[in-house]
A and B are shown apart, each in its own frame.
Chain A
Amino acid sequence: MSTDAMALPRTEPASRPIVARLHDWVTTVDHKRLGILYLIYALVFLLIAGVEAMIMRIQLIRPHNDFISPQVFNRMFTMHGTTMIFFVIMPVMFGFANYLIPLMIGTRDMAFPRLNAFSFWMTAFGGLLLYFSLVGANGLYGAGNAPDVGWFAYAPLTSRTFSVGHSTDFWTLALLVSGFGSIGTAVNIIATVLCMRCPGMTLAKMPLFAWLNLVMAGLVILAVSPLTAAQIMLLVDRYLGGHFFDTQAGGSAVIWMHFFWVFGHPEVYVLVIPAFAFASEIIPVFSRKPIFGYPVMVGATVAIGFISMSVWAHHMFTVGMSSAANNFFVISTMAIAVPTGIKIFNWLATMWGGKIEFKTPMLFCIAFLFQFLIAGLTGIMQGAAPFDWHLGNSYFVVAHFHYVIVGGILFALFGAFYYWFPKMSGKMYSETLGKLHFWLFLIGFHLTFDFMHIPGLLGMPRRIYTYEPGRGWDTWNLIVTIGVFFQAAGILVFLGNLLWSYFRGKAAGSDPWDGWTLEWSTNSPPPAYNFYTTPLVQSRRPLWDLKHPDDPDWKYE
C-alpha cells in the first residue's frame, strides 16, 4: 500500500541563478535546510580533524620520528579534540535532530525557526573562529598560532604567563560562541518536542528518536552552560586580571578541572544519546519488529541523563581527591552502566527473532552495539579508582574514549547517514560502496583502537610527542597507525558514495525501507511545508497502522 497519498506530486522548480540559490541557503530558516547545513559543515570539519589525527599518527608510527615539530604536535591534538567534539559530532547531531524531529512528530518546522538559524550560524562562526587562530593568533608576541593547551585546557597552562599570544583566546571564544549556539538549539528542541507534536502523538507515542533528543537537549542545557560560565571566568582571568584559576593569588587550578568536567562528562552523553536514538530507529526497521521495551528505553535514557550529571570527577581520580569523593564517583560511574546495559539488551531483544536485513545502516548499527559494549566495559575498568591510578592519562584512556566516540557514536552516525540519505536527497545510495565503507572502516577501527589499549597498559602516556625504542610500544604504534589509513580510505568511500549517489543515484521514493515513522509518509526530499495534511497519530508506528488497517498497532498499545 502506498503512502504517497499524503504528499503532493513533486513539481520541479525552475532553475534559478546560483547566487539566488546560495542566498536562499544563507538566509533560510527552514529546519530541513538548516539540518543539511549542519551536516555539511560537520562533514567538512570531520575531514579537517581527521587529517589532524593522521598527522599525529604518522608522527608516532616509529620511535624518534620527527615528521612534525613538538609544537605542531601539541596544536594537532588540541585542534583534533576540540574540532571533533564541538564542530563535528555536536553539529552533526543537531543537524539530524533539526531535520528529523519536526518530520517525525508531524509538524511544519521547529518551534523557533529564526532562533534555529541563529544557533546554526553561531556554531558555524565558532568553528571559523577556532580555525582563524591559524592566521590570527600570533599576536604581538609571535607566539604560536593554533591553540596548544589540550582540549580540556587545564589551568595554569591557560594563564597569560604560559600561554602568550592569542591562541588560547581563540579557543575560549570559539567554544563560548558555539556554546551559545548549542544552548539555543537545545531550547528549540525542547520546545519543539513538547509543544509541536501533531494531534494524537502523546509523549508515550513519540518515536524514541524524539524522546532521546529531548533528553539530549536537556543535558545540553545543564552541561554546556557550566562550560560557558567557566569560559567567561577564563576570559576574566586573561583579559581583566582576575584570579579564578591563578594559584599565585590563592585561586585554584583544580576548580577549573571540576568546572570543565561538570560539562565534559555529560557532554559524552550529549553525543551518545543521539547515537542511541539512531540505533533505536534503525534496528527495529531492519529487524522488522517494533522496538522491544519502549517505556524501559525511555526510562533508561532519562536515568542516564540524571546519573550522567553526577559522575564528572571520575576524570580526576589521579588529581588526588578525598576517599569519600573517590568512592562517590566510583559508585555513580558503576551505576550508569545499569541503564546503559538495559538499552543494549533492549536492542538485542528487538533483533531476537526478527527478520534481519543486513543493509548498510543495519551493519553499522550491529557493529555499534558490540563496540559500544566493549567501550563500556573498558569504561568500568577505569571507573574503578585504584585501577585508574595505573591507567590515568595513558593511551588506554585514549583508546577507551575513541572506542566510545568512534566505535559507538561514529558507527551509529554512519548508519544514520545511510538510513536517512534517501529521505534527504531523494536518491538511493550505492549499497556496494556502503558495504565497502563499512568493512574498510571496521577493519581500520579495530586495527587502530583495539591495539591502542596495549601500549596504554604498558605505560605509554597520552599526548607524548615521541618515545624511546625498546619499551615494547613500537609494534603496537605501527599497527595503530596502519589502521588509520584503512579508516581514511573508508571515509573517502563514504564521501564519494554520498556525492556519487546525490548526482547519479536512482530515485529512492518516499519510503524505501518500508518504515513506520512519519518522515517516510512525505516526499523525498520533503517539501518546505513537510506534510500536505496534518497527520493524526494513534500509535507509536503511525505508518504501520496506515499500511495494515486490518491489524493496527493501537489495538495493542
Chain B
Amino acid sequence: MSAMSMAAAEQKLEWDRPARGRVGMFSLIAAEAAIFTIFVVAYLFYIGKSLAGPLPKDVLSVPVFYTICLLSSSLTIHLAANSLRRGSVRSFGILWLVTITLGATFMYGTATEWHRLIYDEGLTISTNLFGTTYYSLVGLHGFHVVVGLLALSTVMVFTLLGDVRPEHAERVDALSLYWHFVDVVWIVVFTVVYVIGR
C-alpha cells in the first residue's frame, strides 16, 4: 500500500461534498436563466416598437387563474418531495399527480389564449414585433413547462409501477428544482408581458 492510502487509514477526515444532481441542476438553471434573459431583454426592448397592430393593450387579458395554478404547483411539488423524504410514497404520488394536473391546466390556459389570439385577433408570430416577441417568450416558457410535464409524468409512471422509493428523494429534489425554476420564470414573464408590456 502506498503512503497516501496509509495516511487515509490513519486520518479519518470529514469529507462532505455537495450532491452532484443538485449542482448539475443549478448549473443547467443558470444556463436556462441566461437564455430567458436574452428573450426578456428583446421583449422589453421591442415594447411599443410595433409598426402595426394588434397591440398588447388591445388583445391581452391577464391570465390570473392559470397563473395561480402554475405558482401553486410549486407548493405541491415541494410537499410531494417532502413526503417522499419522510417515506410516504402514497402521499407523494397524490401530490405529484396534483402538480401535473396544475401544470397541464396552465398549458391549457396558454392554448386557449393562443387560439383566441390567432383566430379571433389575427395575431401570429409574423404579424408584428409584438407577435414575434410575445410568441417567442411565452412559447419558450411553455416549451419548458411541457418538458417539465414530460419529466414529471415519467416519474408518475414509475410511481404507479411502484418503482419510486424514499431513497430516490434526492433525484426527485433535483427535478423539483427545475419545476420551481419554471415557475419563477413565469413570474418574470408575467410581469414583463402582462404588467409592463400592457
- Show the binding face of A for B, using Cβ within 8 Å: 3, 5-6, 111-112, 115, 183, 186-188, 190-192, 194-197, 199-200, 217-218, 221-226, 228-230, 232-233, 236-237, 240-244, 249-252, 255, 259, 262, 533-538, 542, 546, 549
Partner of B35 from the list A229, A241, A542 (CB cut-off 8 Å) is A229
B32 contacts across to A, CB distance below 8 A: 225
Alpha-carbon separation in the docked complex, A225 to B27 (Å): 12
Q: Which residue of A lies closest to B23 (CB)?
A: A191
Q: How far is the CA of A242 from the CA of B5 in the complex (A)?
A: 62
Binds A, one of B81-89, B112-120, B128-136: B128-136
- A6, B131: Cα distance in complex, Å: 63
In the complex, given contacts A5-B1, A236-B132, A243-B128, what are 4 additional A-B residue pairs having Cβ atoms less than 8 angstroms apart?
A: A187-B24, A226-B35, A229-B34, A250-B129
Tell me whether A536 and B34 are in contact (CB under 8 A): no
Chain A, Cβ-Cβ closest to B17: A195
- Chain A residues contacting B15 (CB-CB under 8 Å) are 199-200
In the bound complex, CA of A78 to CA of B24 (Å) = 34
Cβ of B191 within 8 Å of any chain A Cβ, yes or no, is no
Residues on the B chain within 8 Å of A6, using CB = 2, 4-5
A536 touches B27 (CB 8 A): no
In the assembled complex, B20 has its CB within 8 A of some CB on chain A: yes
**A230 near B13: Cβ-Cβ < 8 Å:** no
Query: Judging by beta carbons under 8 Å apart, are B20 and A111 in contact?
Result: yes
What are the interface flags for B85-105 relative to A under an 8 Å C-beta threshold, 1 for contact and 0 otherwise?
Answer: 000000000000000000000
* Known pairs A242-B132, A243-B126; A225 contacts B35 (CB<8 A): yes
Q: Which of A190, A217, A252, A546 contacts B2 (CB 8 A)?
A: A546
Closest chain B CB from A3 CB (angstroms): 8
B34-55 Cβ-contact flags toward A at 8 Å (1 or 0)? 1111110010011001110000
Closest B-chain residue to A241, C-beta based? B126
Give the residues in chain A near B195, CB-CB below 8 Å.
none
B13 touches A200 (CB 8 A): yes
A112 and B25 alpha carbons, distance in the complex (Å):
12
Q: Which residues of B contact A226 (CB under 8 A)?
A: 34-35, 37-38
Contact of B161 with A by CB under 8 A: no
* Cβ contacts under 8 Å, A188 to chain B: 24
- Residues of chain A lying within 8 A (CB to CB) of residue B28: 183, 187
- Total A-B residue pairs with C-beta atoms closer than 8 Å? 141
Q: Tell me if B17 and A194 are in contact (CB < 8 A).
A: yes
Q: Tally B residues with Cβ within 8 Å of A.
A: 41
Return 10 A-B CB contacts under 8 Å, by A number. Answer: A187-B24, A221-B34, A229-B38, A243-B129, A244-B133, A250-B49, A250-B51, A251-B46, A536-B7, A536-B8
- Contact, CB under 8 Å: A533 / B5: yes
Set of chain B residues within 8 Å of A538, measured between Cβ atoms: 7
Known: A229-B38, A243-B126, A546-B4. A250 touches B50 (CB 8 A): yes
A contact residues around B50 at 8 Å (CB)? 250
Q: Per a CB cutoff under 8 Å, which of A183, A190, A252, A535 touches B4? A: A535
Residues in A whose Cβ lies below 8 Å from that of B31: 183, 186-187, 221-222, 224-225
Per DSSP, chain B at the interface is: helix
Q: Given A241-B125, A243-B129, A255–B23 Cβ distance below 8 Å? A: no
User: B45 and A242: CB pair below 8 A?
Assistant: no
Which residue of chain B is the closest to A259 with respect to CB atoms? B38
Cβ contact within 8 Å between A249 and B4: no
Complex CA–CA separation, A236 to B129 (angstroms): 12
Per-position binary interface string of chain B over residues 125-165, scored 1 when its CB falls under 8 Å from any chain A CB and 0 otherwise: 11011001100100010000000000000000000000000
> How far in angstroms is the closest Cβ of chain A from B58?
17
In contact, A242 and B125 (Cβ under 8 angstroms): yes
B18 partner, pick from A5, A194, A232, A250, beta carbons under 8 A: A194
Q: Contact at A249–B17, with CB atoms within 8 Å?
A: no
Q: How far is the CA of A225 from the CA of B36 in the complex (A)?
A: 9
Residues in A with CB closer than 8 Å to B19 are 195
Provided the pairs A251-B129, A259-B38, A262-B38 are in contact, do residues A191 and B3 lie with their beta carbons within 8 angstroms?
no
Complex CA–CA separation, A112 to B24 (angstroms) = 9
Q: Is A196 a contact of B17 with CB atoms below 8 Å?
A: yes
Q: Is the CB of A536 within 8 A of B126?
A: no
A221 adjacent to B13 (CB under 8 Å): no
Q: Does B30 sit within 8 A of A, measured CB to CB?
A: yes
List chain B residues, Cβ under 8 A from A197. Answer: 17
Give the distance in Å from the alpha carbon of A170 to the alpha carbon of B144 in the complex. 25
Question: Across the interface, do B132 and A196 meet the contact criterion of CB distance under 8 Å?
Answer: no
Nearest B residue to A4 via CB reads B2
Tell me which of B18, B32, B126 has the highest count of chain A C-beta atoms within 10 A of its own C-beta.
Answer: B126
A115 to B50, CA, bound (A): 42
Is B128 a contact partner of A190 (Cβ separation < 8 A)? Answer: no
Q: Which residues of B contact A535 (CB under 8 A)?
A: 4-5
CA distance A352 to B114 in the complex (A): 67
Closest 5 CB pairs of A and B: A241-B126, A225-B34, A229-B38, A195-B20, A242-B132
| Chain A residues whose CB sits within 8 angstroms of the CB of B36 once the complex forms | 229
Q: Report chain A residues within 8 Å CB of B46.
A: 250-252
Q: Is the CB of A199 within 8 A of B8?
A: yes
Known: A221-B31, A240-B125, A252-B45. A536 touches B38 (CB 8 A): no
Are B20 and A236 touching (Cβ within 8 A)?
no
B128 touches A249 (CB 8 A): yes
Q: List chain B residues, Cβ under 8 A from A224.
A: 31
- Chain B residues with Cβ below 8 Å from A230 are 38
Task: Name the residue on A nearest B136 (C-beta).
Answer: A236
Name the residue of chain A whose CB is nearest to the CB of B38.
A229
Residues of B within 8 A of A233 (CB): 38-39, 42, 136
Contact B34 A243, beta carbon cutoff 8 Å: no
Q: Decide: A244 near B132, CB < 8 A? Known: A6-B4, A186-B31, A195-B18.
A: yes
Q: B126 to A240, Cβ gap below 8 A?
A: yes
Q: Choose among A196, A200, A229, A242 the residue that contacts B20 (Cβ–Cβ < 8 A).
A: A196
Q: If the complex has contacts A240-B126, A255-B45, A262-B38, are A546 and B3 also in contact, measured as CB distance less than 8 A? A: yes
Nearest Cβ on chain A to B164's Cβ, whole angstroms: 21
A306 → B minimal CB distance (Å)? 14
Q: How far is the CA of A350 from the CA of B3 in the complex (A)?
A: 28
Q: Known: A111-B20, A255-B42, A546-B4. Is A222-B30 also a contact (CB below 8 A)?
A: yes
A191 partner, pick from B7, B8, B24, B129, beta carbons under 8 A: B24
* Residues on the B chain within 8 Å of A241, using CB: 125-126
B35 touches A190 (CB 8 A): no
B135 to chain A, nearest CB (A): 8
Write the chain A residue with the least CB distance to B24: A191
Taking a contact as CB atoms closer than 8 A, the residue among A222, A237, A250, A536 that contacts B5 in the complex is A536
Q: Determine the chain A residues whose CB is within 8 A of the CB of B8 once the complex forms.
A: 199, 533-534, 536
Q: Roughly how many angstroms separate A112 CA and B19 CA in the complex, as a whole number?
A: 12
Measured CB to CB, the closest approach of chain A to B45, in angstroms, equals 6
From the candidates B13, B51, B126, name the one contacting A199 in the complex (CB within 8 A). B13
